[in-house]
Amino acid sequence: MTGRLEGKNAFVTGAAGGIGREICRRFVEEGARVVAADLETSAIQDVLGDLDASSFRAVACDIGDEQQVASAIEGAVTAFGGLDVLCNTAGGSSQADGRITEVGVEEFWRVMRVDLFGTFLVSRFGIPHLITAGGGSVINLTSVTALRGFPQRTAYSAAKGGIAAMTRAMAAGYGEERIRVNAIAPGSTMSPRVAARAHTEQAKKTAAKHVLGVLDPIDIAEMAVFLASDESRRITGQVHVVDSGFTTVL
């Protein structure tokens, strides 16, 4: 029995993080060949070093740097002969975020550079190769912060809202070339970064609003597999909320 992603080549950013790591693992398990990008290859190898080397390559890439992104994408195409899937996972909020009158300008631009501009650059350099392949799938990671008000996440909310809007624009712009563009909006997901502050009162309150329990990275990875596969061939321009019921709770 062949995997759901058999024969597909994928480029995944944020590969050393909890969600990115699970996406890479599930893509390989389903038959894809994956180029996994993060700031340092050592970080990727530490968490994904057990994957079959014939199906997996690690590449160091600062996704906010135009030249590094261009080089990493070209390297992926050279390594596996083309690209079929882009998965823009890199990003994340920090405790330096806050209300708009309090968050530092430096933090605002840091988040914009990684989350929004990074998604822009990877898509800008990757989509031409998906067109060459006859079509493909772009999967962007947004957040429930793009859908509801989080006063302490001004910069992150703005970046993730931009990704949601850009997803729809990209889907409209590249449908004729058979490029599908979708976003996943996770709720609170137990990545190492989230786990580190799970003991705080605010984190406990947020977790309680996830009616089916706080998510695990595998929950997001399974949606990514679906969106990367031909099973979602008629789905584009959508923000798929995977939040354990969080946005249904007042």
Which amino acid makes up residue 69?
V
- What secondary structure does DSSP assign to the chain, as a single string? ---TTTT-EEEEESTTSHHHHHHHHHHHHTT-EEEEEES-HHHHHHHHTTS-TTTEEEEE--TT-HHHHHHHHHHHHHHHS--SEEEE------TT---TTTS-HHHHHHHIIIIIIHHHHHHHHHHHHHHHTT-EEEEEE--GGGTS--TT-HHHHHHHHHHHHHHHHHHHHHGGGTEEEEEEEE-SB--HHHHHTTTSHHHHHHHHT-TT--B-HHHHHHHHHHHHSGGGTT--S-EEEESTTGGG--
Q: Which residue of the set 156, 157, 214, 243 is catalytic? A: 156
Does the annotation count 156 as an active-site position?
A: yes
Cβ contacts of residue 135 below 8 Å, gap of 6+? 177, 178, 179, 180
Residues designated as active site: 156
